[in-house]
Amino acid sequence: MFHFKQFSLSNSLSAMKVGTDGVLLGAWAQPADASSCVGVLDIGCGTGVIGLMIAQRYPDAAVTCIDISPEAVEECAENISRSPFAGRVVVCRADFMDYVAGRKFELIVSNPPFFTEQLHSPDPLRAKARHDDSLPLAALMRGSASLLSPGGRLALVLPAGRDDEALLEASLAGLNAVRRCRVYTRDGKPSRRTLWEFASEAGCCAEERLVIQNADGSYTDGYKALVKDFYLGF
């Protein structure tokens, strides 16, 4: 069991375990207008960590979590039922490639499968969760663009090595980068992840930088400020 300040997560059935990527996105993603964040979609929800973090941050938001894996959906449903946000968060099994929502969303979030190497995990569930042949980035961008409400935002976490691809696929889907945060494990090391926010309207892209650890291994003030409402130790 993984314990946060306001909820706890079972972390055994889903192939996508609770990790730094999801926590970063759940703490960082934001709608254009917090007061109008009434509909949120979490694509590839896994344990539900991102959706529950968003529900904690935005008390008026109704969060829909979807995942292609029945094991993930089962575990996410259990985690939601034990949380204080059970009335505002739902989960359903769905393949985003065929997903029909029947509504638009002010915020869409996803920690998508992003490995493109030919070598797959021998565990088929983990392979599907981690390799993007199950949900190519182009399909994620196009599908999300069609589901965003006017002024809506799509927030993703991706490897830093896919920055150019992310910009290209977003452009082809009619989306523009409006916010980007380069994430570094330690100062002086190369960026490993990028947090992205895309929107249909054009505009300047706000550039941010987040370092997780100081040289001595302690957590930076910026990282602690970002996750302090969630991690028990901060």
Which pLDDT does position 217 carry in this prediction? 92
Q: Residue 203: which pLDDT band, with cuts at 50, 70 and 90?
A: confident
* Nearest one of 147, 155, 161 to 177, comparing CA atoms: 155
pTM of the model: 0.90
Which pLDDT does position 225 carry in this prediction? 98
- Is 60 exceeded by the pLDDT of residue 97? yes
CB atoms near residue 39 (< 10 Å): 21
Q: Residue 133: which pLDDT band, with cuts at 50, 70 and 90?
A: low
Class of CATH domain 2-227? alpha beta
DSSP characters for the chain? -EE-SS-EE--SS-SS---HHHHHHHHH---S-GGG--EEEEES-TTSHHHHHHHHH-TT-EEEEEES-HHHHHHHHHHHHHSTTTTTEEEEE--GGG---SS-EEEEEE----B--SPPPSSHHHHHHHBTTSS-HHHHHHHHHHHEEEEEEEEEEEEGGGHHHHHHHHHHTT-EEEEEEEEEEETTSPP-EEEEEEESS--PPEEEEEEEE-TTSPBPHHHHHHHTTT-TT-
Average pLDDT score over the chain: 91
Domain segments of the chain as ranges:
2-227
Tell me the average pLDDT across 191-204.
94
- Is 70 exceeded by the pLDDT of residue 15? yes
CA atoms of 193 and 22, how far apart (whole Å):
11
By percentage, how much of the chain surpasses pLDDT 70? 91
Tell me the average pLDDT across 30-43.
90
